[in-house]
A and B are shown apart, each in its own frame.
Chain A
Amino acid sequence: MTENLLQTKGLTKTYPIKGGLLGTKRIGTLRAVDGVDVEIRRKQKYAIVGESGCGKTTFGKSAIRVLDPSSGEIWFDGTEISKLRGESLKRLRAMCQMVYQDPSGSLNPRRRVKDIIGAPLHIHRVCSQVEQRERVKELLNLVELPSDYLYRYPSALSGGEKQRVGVARALALHPKFIVLDEPTSSLDVSVQAKVLRLLKRLQTEFELTYLLITHDLGVVRNFSDRVAVMYLGKFVEMAPTETFFGLHLHPYSKALLSATPVVSDQERRIMPKRITLTGEVPSPSNIPDGCGFHTRCPEKKGDICEKKRPDLVEVRADHLVRCHLYLNKY
C-alpha cells in the first residue's frame, strides 16, 4: 500500500476553441489545467485555493475522472486510473465522490431526500430496497438531520441542510476520497462553521481523504493540512497549512492573502502589507510567455519573468514555490 492515495503527474486538461465558417476548425486551445503534479496522502485534507477561472474545479474533476484529462497520469491507491473504462471506472466512482458548490443546483428538485441519497446505492446495486432505506436513514443521522427529512423535497430545506444532504449522498458508498468543491461558499458564516465541523468529524470517523477546493483562505486555515495556491492552471505555491500562513513566498499568494478582508487585530498582524493587483487575469486561452503571473506581479524581476517559465522549486523543506525570485535563496 502506498502512502499516497492520489497522485497526479503532469495532469493537463485543455479545451479546443472552435471557430471558422462551420465552427469545426480548431482555432486555439484553452489550457484550464496545465501540468499539475500533486501527491495527496491518506487521511489528508488537501486544499486548493485560487480565484474563479484559475482551473481549480477542473483539476478536482479531472483528478477523479469526472472529466477526462487531456494528458498526464493519475494514480489512485496504487493504480493508474487516467485510462480506466467500463466496469473498473464504475468501481472507481464508488471510491471517489464529490460534494458540489451549489447545493440547490446539485440536488434534483423533483426527487425526495431519500431518493437523492439512495441514488448511488441504487446505481451501484449494493443492497436491497429494505437495506437501502435503513442505510439512507443511517446516513441522514450521520449528517445530523432528523429522519423525518426522508420524505422532503430539496425546496423544503435550507442551504445548510441541502449541503448536508449532498454530503450524505457522497458518503453513501463508503468512499475513500471526496472532492469538496466550495462546499460552504454559498452558506452564511454561522452555517458554514457547522458544515465544516461536520466534515471534519466525518473525516476522522471514516478516515476519509479530502480535496477541498475553495477561494476562502480563512476556511483553508481552519480546515486543511496542506494547501496549494493555483493561478492560471498551475500550482504556484505548495506547503503545509501552518507553514504557509507563517511564511508565504509567491507574490500571488501574498496578494491573495493581503486582499482577504479580516475582522480581528491578531489577523491584521500576520497579514502582508496590502497589495493591490492591477489589471485582469490573463485568459487561459492566451497564457503569457514565461511566468503566467508576470503581467500583474508587483515584484517582477525583469526579462527572465517574461521569457523563462519558472519551475516549482523546493525552497525550504516541504515548501514549493514557482517563482524566479526564489531560485538562489534559502
Chain B
Amino acid sequence: MLRVENLNVNFNTFDGQARVIDGVSLHVQEKETVGLVGETGCGKSVVMKVILRILPIPPGEVAGGKVTFEGKDILHSSEDELRTIRGRSISMIPQNLTSLNPTLTVGEQLTDTLVTRANPDLSLVQYYRSRSDKELCRELREKAVQILRDVALPSPERVMKSYPFELSGGMKQRIMIAMALSGNPSLVLADEPGTALDVTTQNVILELLKTKTREKGLSVIYVTHNLAVAAENTQRTYVMYAGQIVEVAGSNSMFSDPKHPYSIGLIESIPKLTGSDPQGIPGRIPSYYQPPSGCRFWPRCEHALPICKKEKPDSVKIDGHIVNCHLFD
C-alpha cells in the first residue's frame, strides 16, 4: 500500500550539507502494523514527514528515491492532490501533546477539522459562511461529540468546551487520536504515541489505538524510540540507525533473535524486568555532515571488518530477517 524506495534526504545548512536519510526503503501492506524504531536523531520523523510531504523544503531536499501510496507518486503530486491525501488517506498522530491549538476550544478545533475534511478546497469565504450556518454547526457538533465518545472520553460535551490546558495528557492524546481517525484514513502514522505519558496511561492509549485501528482495518506505522512499544504492538519492525535501515524482521523474531550488531546492542541495552546488566553501545551517533563511509555503524561496531569502511552493505536475507550488514554476506 505504501512503498518508500531508496529515499535520500539532505538538509542544506550554513554548516554544509547534512545527508540525513541515506537510502531508506520500507513498505506497509494493507491492515499491517509496522514499527520504525531507532534512537533520537536517527531520522525516523524525517521519513514520516516526507511521506506526508510536510518536510520544510528548503532547508530539506529530497535528493532521490520514490514514495508511492496506493499507486500515487507522492513526491510528484501537486499540493491540491496532497490535500486530498493528508488527513483523509494518510493521517498522522503528532508526537507532541502541545499540537492542539491552545487558543481554541477542543470543539472548535474538531469541527474545523470536520469542515475542511469534508471539503478540501474550502475557501475562506465558504469557511466563514459554514461557520454562521447554525443548522450545519449543530450537525458538526453532534458529529464531533460522537467522535469523542468513540475514543472513550468521559463527558464529551464538557470536553468540547474545554481548552487544551484544562485537559490531562491522556485526554489530549485521545483527542488527537480522534482527530486523526475522523477522516477515515487507510494509513495512520503514529509518531511516538503515548511516550509523553505515564506507563499506565500509555498502556490505555496504545490499547485504544490498537482496537480502533483493528476495528477499521487500518495500517499503522508506529514511530518510536521505545522498543518495547514496537515489540508489543507491531507485526514487523524496521530498525533504523543514522539515516539507514539496518534490519527488518517480524517483531517477535526481531526482539528475540536480532541479527544486526546495532539491533543486538540496542535490544540488550533495555533494562529487563527479569534483571540484566545492560552494557550500552560504545561511541555516539556520527555527524551527518561527514557520515562514515560504507556502513554508517562501523565506527561503533565491535565486529567491523575492513570492507565495512569501504562499501555500503547490501540487504541479506537470513531466517526471515533482512539485514544490511557485511557480516552476513
Interface residues of A (CB under 8 A from B): 51-52, 158-160, 188-194, 196-197, 215-219, 221-223, 245, 255-267, 270-271, 274, 276-277, 280
Contacts and interface: CB of A to CB of B under 8 A. Distances in A.
Contacts of B232: 261-262
B269 A193 contact: yes
Contacts of B198: 51-52, 215
A222 B228 contact: no
Contact of A51 (B199, B256, B270, B272): B199
B170 interface: yes
B270 A218 contact: yes
A190 B275 contact: no
Nearest to A187: B40
Contacts of A192: 269, 271, 278, 280
Given A263-B255, A276-B207, A221 B200 contact: no
B274 A215 contact: no
27 contacts: A51-B198, A188-B225, A189-B266, A189-B270, A189-B278, A190-B265, A192-B269, A192-B271, A193-B269, A193-B279, A197-B278, A218-B272, A221-B274, A221-B275, A256-B199, A258-B203, A261-B199, A261-B231, A262-B232, A262-B273, A263-B231, A263-B255, A263-B267, A267-B273, A271-B273, A277-B200, A280-B170
A193 B271 contact: yes
A245 B231 contact: no
A194 B232 CA distance: 25
Contacts of A263: 227-228, 231, 255, 267, 270, 272
Closest 3 CB pairs of A and B: A261-B228, A193-B280, A193-B278
Contact of B272 (A159, A191, A215, A262): A262
Given A218-B270, A264-B272, A190 B170 contact: no
B284 interface: yes
A218 B278 CA distance: 11
Given A261-B226, A280-B168, A267 B274 contact: yes
B133 interface: no
A270 B198 CA distance: 21
B122 interface: no
Interface residues of B, number: 40
A97 B320 CA distance: 50
Interface in B60-91: none
Contacts of B284: 158, 160
Interface of B: 39-40, 168, 170, 198-204, 206-207, 225-229, 231-232, 255-256, 265-267, 269-281, 284-285
Nearest to B207: A276
A259 B267 contact: no
Contacts of B229: 261
A161 to B, nearest CB: 8
B270 A259 contact: no
Most chain A beta-carbon contacts within 10 A, residue among B199, B202, B276, B277: B199
Nearest to B271: A218
A271 to B, nearest CB: 7
Given A222-B278, A261-B226, A261-B232, A189 B200 contact: no
A266 B267 contact: no
A143 to B, nearest CB: 14
Nearest to A49: B199
